[in-house]
Amino acid sequence: MKPGERDLSTLRHIISYCDEISDALVNHGLTAHHYGAFDADFLWETATEDIPPLKAFCLQQIAERQ
């Protein structure tokens, strides 16, 4: 795999993970698996404020490289 192809592959994986996180929150809520104590506000903030810009950045990088 060429270096540029590896970069695109990594970006696509990150996008996939972003989608999985968003889907999990929408479909299962924050406490679906009862993992014990966690900061729900921090988790929600990360999922709603950090994940979408990360996904947008990755999509932009892929568009610029193709």
Q: How confident is the model at residue 8 (pLDDT cuts 50, 70, 90)?
A: very high
**DSSP H stretches of helix in 1-66:** 3-28, 40-45, 51-65
Task: Tell me how far apart the alpha carbons of residues 62 and 55 are, in angstroms, rounded to a whole number.
Answer: 11
Residue 57 or residue 2, greater confidence: 57
The three-class DSSP label of residue 27 is helix
Quickly state the pLDDT bin for 2 (edges 50, 70, 90).
Answer: confident
| Residue 22 structure tokens | 């968003």
> pLDDT tens digits, residue range 10-62?
999 999 999 988 888 777 665 555 556 667 788 788 888 999 999 999 999 99
pLDDT computed for residue 42 by the predictor: 81
